[in-house]
Amino acid sequence: MNPTKTADNIKSMKIRGAQEIAIAALKSFEEWIPAYKGSNFQKDLEKNAKILKSSRPSAVSLPNAIDFVLYVAKNSGNHGEMAKRIEKFRKEQEEATAKIAKIGAKRIENNDTILTHCNSRTVIDILKEAWNSGKKINVICTETRPWNQGLLTAKQLASIGIPVTLIVDSATRFAVEKLKVDKTLIGADTICVNGAVINKIGTSQVALISHESNVPVMVACQTLKFSLETITGELITIEERPHTEISAHPIKGVKILNPVFDATPPEYIDVMITEHGLISPHMAYEILRDYMGWKFADRKI
């Protein structure tokens, strides 16, 4: 699928979830670059990069992946080599999720009740890995208004036999206390240099309630989600989506606001599960320094 069509599918949420959108963007360039027949490759590449980057603003995995494409374009001999390097990078991203599943599953114990929010492929892969290794777990999914991604999570887990309970978002405190949640496991769209986590709206409430109840909060996140730009003070844009996602009809005299991500402070987070192992949220800078070398080299920070 070409970059423009991919951007449309990301914008309309046909392709969603931070890691999936980054992988879809990489794949689109993998196909588009070797097939390019135009006369101004650099201009068209940058145009596509811009369109894709703006398709969803809160998941830094997307611009990070696209910046890798631009970096490779600058540092490769020909289109075939570019496509190969992008494919290798994309496969590494897929392997990162598999590694996180293996590492994260070790943190899940037999008979654990796990609370999750939204629909994270990375979280689901950890839960599947734990389940397939014979651990009996129960999962509680928040509905995740307004888009109801929690229903997707519930269906995906139920389809492999994991016992799942679906709750409305506002029942989180009730569930943590009454259903005796052992651990909270969430995904991430962006990790800031101070360890703050940008994830689906409501994540910060889920994390606060868990933290207050001494329930460890674990964040499953690939290195691609760490934001280098936050080192130099950039803020992450919180995406706002159409009010029709909340109410199909306008309500006279009422303004409807639909921010779809929020920031969870690092103080609520016990551990981050990355493909390089478990880290404290306060180690975000080290992850950026040690694993985003190509970005540092290009930006000269």
Among 85, 121, 183, 211, binds ligand RUB (CB under 6 A): 121
Nearer to ligand RUB (CB atom), residue 121 or residue 183: 121
Closest residue (Cβ) to ligand RUB? 187
Residue whose CB is less far from ligand RUB, 83 or 101: 101
Q: Decide whether 184 or 199 has the Cβ nearer to ligand RUB.
A: 199
**262 is a site residue for ligand RUB (CB under 6 A):** no
Nearer to ligand RUB, 85 or 200 (CB): 200
Q: Which of 67, 112, 125, 189 is catalytic?
A: 189
Closer to ligand RUB at the Cβ: 45 or 56? 56
| Sheet containing 113-116, strands listed edge to edge, beginning at the edge strand earlier in sequence | 164-167, 138-142, 113-116, 183-186, 217-220, 271-274, 277-279
Query: Applying CB under 6 A, does 183 fall inside the site for ligand RUB?
Result: no
Residues with Cβ within 8 Å of 299's Cβ and at least 6 positions away in sequence, in order, are 228
Among 28, 48, 120, 210, binds ligand RUB (CB under 6 A): 120
Closest CB 68 distance from ligand RUB, rounded Å = 17
The rounded distance, in Å, linking the Cα atoms of 64 and 59 is: 9
Considering only CA atoms, which of 104, 92, 95, 167 is closest in space to residue 132? 104
Structure tokens at 201: 């709206």
Residue choice 3, 187, 195, 266 for contact with ligand RUB (CB under 6 A):
187
Question: What single-letter amino acid sits at 228?
Answer: L
Q: Which stretch binds ligand RUB (CB under 6 A): 72-80, 114-122, 249-257, 268-276?
A: 114-122
- Say which amino acid occupies 255: K
Helices assigned H by DSSP within the chain? 3-11, 18-32, 41-53, 61-74, 79-106, 121-132, 149-158, 172-178, 203-212, 284-291, 293-299
Q: Is 104 in the site for ligand RUB (CB under 6 A)?
A: no
Task: State the catalytic residue, choosing from 118, 141, 192, 221.
Answer: 118
Asked if 17 touches ligand RUB (CB under 6 A), the answer is: yes
Q: Is 90 in the site for ligand RUB (CB under 6 A)?
A: no
What's the min distance (Å) between Cβ of 83 and ligand RUB?
A: 24
Give long-range contacts, CB 8 A cutoff, 24+ apart: 293-299.
Answer: 294/68, 294/71, 295/64, 295/67, 295/71, 295/228, 296/228, 298/67, 298/71, 298/74, 299/228
Binding residue (CB under 6 A) for ligand RUB from 189, 229, 270, 275: 189
Of 92, 71, 97, 84, residue with least CA distance to 18: 97
**Residue 121 CB, nearest approach to ligand RUB (Å):** 3
Catalytic annotation present for 189: yes
Q: Which of residues 118, 127, 141, 279 is near ligand RUB by CB under 6 A?
A: 118
> Are 141 and 168 in contact, with CB atoms under 8 Å apart?
no
**Residue 16 makes contact with ligand RUB by CB under 6 A:** yes
**The two three-digit tokens of residue 266, written as one number:** 């690092």
For the question of residue 141 being annotated catalytic, the response is no
Q: Interacting stretch for ligand RUB, rule CB under 6 A, among 153-161, 181-189, 250-258, 265-273?
A: 181-189
Contacts of 44 (CB under 8 A, 6+ apart): 36, 38
Residues 273, 254: Cα–Cα separation, whole Å: 41
Which residues sit at the interface with ligand RUB, rule CB under 6 A?
16-20, 59, 118-122, 149, 187-189, 199-200, 260
Active site residues: 118, 189
